[in-house]
Chains A and B, each alone.
Chain A
Amino acid sequence: MKHRTRPAGQDFEPLVRELRGSLASLRAASEALALLAPPEEDAEAKDLRSVVLAEGVRLTELVERLGTAVLPGESTARGRRPLKDLIAELVRAAGTNLDLTIETEPGAAPPEVRLSDGSLLVATLLGTLGRLRRDFAVCRVTLRSRLHQDLVALDFLWPASEPELWRLRESNAELLDAAGRGEPPLREVVQALGGEVWLTVDRAAASAGLRLLLPPT
């Protein structure tokens, strides 16, 4: 099965990131230079320095606008499906194929957020949960969904002892960044959807989890 890993528009993200980094260096340097200017500075030099400072601010405003202009490519992507359908699919597939129990919190209906490439997200999540079962003997996972500061948070939680927590932490990158069978890495898929994913460790509760944050689209 061929998967598209990146919705249209998302390929600009690394370029925008580089632009932001470079512009930050330029602005910081120009603002630092302003502090070094001699009191008796030549008028032309002062004007030129003002141009650099002003254009740095203007470019910052432009890059902020570019940053938000890139992401809505998501909303025009084909094959959008409500998140709740994808979770239902995940629960069914995990229950029948992986001997993995996923429970949603009572009364916590998944928020209505639509995603492109949702099937790929489900396939990749299943691959990651399968690796957890195989490598860490995780056989029961609780899925909690909630709204978190206008973002959708999905928590896949399971009990873990202290040594397991350490082992999980060391395997963090491998779990999230390794490609599965036919699927790209989970982190890549989630980030292409404009989200973030990471491993959570709660020593006090002796539990670990995968947290996905997804933006509303």
Chain B
Amino acid sequence: MEPKRRVLIVDDEPNIILSLEFLLRQQGYEVSVARDGEEALVAAEDWRPDLMVLDVMLPGLDGFEVCRRLRERPENAGLKILLLTARGREVERVRGLEEGADAYVRKPFSTRQLMKTVAELLGRPEA
């Protein structure tokens, strides 16, 4: 049996965490949560997720900085990063992709679409 793919949610909003955690588990992923950028960097090293759902607006290190620091380390080359943002600006999307994110999703989003993007990034058919 194929091992469960690991998804790390990085967000400081408990309400969105609650729903995303549930929906991702429903899709068969192993899920963990980090509530700020520093915690996300530690979890990336210790827990080795396959994909990170990373909010841009975080206390302390923002999502862009987390993304950049992750990409500086060759061992994270296989890690997929999906940036979430509550800002709707094109400049932010471009910046996110330049910092090394694989996908960029604006809040609010359709969770069906989000799950589809996660599945595509992980190279597996949608459950």
Stretch at the interface among A15-23, A78-86, A87-95, A105-113: A15-23
Q: How far is the CB of B12 from chain A (nearest CB, A)?
A: 10
A29 touches which one: B15, B84, B90 (CB < 8 A)?
B15
Residue A72 interfacial (CB < 8 Å): no
Return the contact of B95 from the options A17, A21, A172, A213 (Cβ within 8 A): A213
Q: Is the CB of A25 within 8 A of B88?
A: no
Number of residues from A at the complex interface, CB < 8 A: 38
Q: Are A198 and B19 in contact (CB under 8 A)?
A: no
Please indicate the chain A residues that have their CB under 8 angstroms from the CB of B88 in the complex.
Answer: 16, 20, 64, 67-68
Task: Select the stretch in B28-36, B104-112, B116-124 that faces chain A.
Answer: B104-112
- Is A180 close to B, CB under 8 A? no
Cα separation A151 to B16 with both chains bound (whole Å): 31
Number of chain B residues close to chain A: CB under 8 A: 31
Q: Are the CB atoms of A149 and B94 closer together than 8 Å?
A: yes
Give 16 CB contacts A-B under 8 Å.
Answer: A18-B86, A20-B106, A20-B108, A23-B107, A23-B108, A24-B86, A29-B18, A35-B22, A35-B26, A64-B88, A149-B90, A151-B91, A196-B91, A198-B64, A211-B98, A215-B91
Q: Which residues of B contact A (CB under 8 A)?
A: 13, 15-16, 18-20, 22-23, 26, 57, 64-65, 84, 86-92, 94-95, 98-99, 106-112
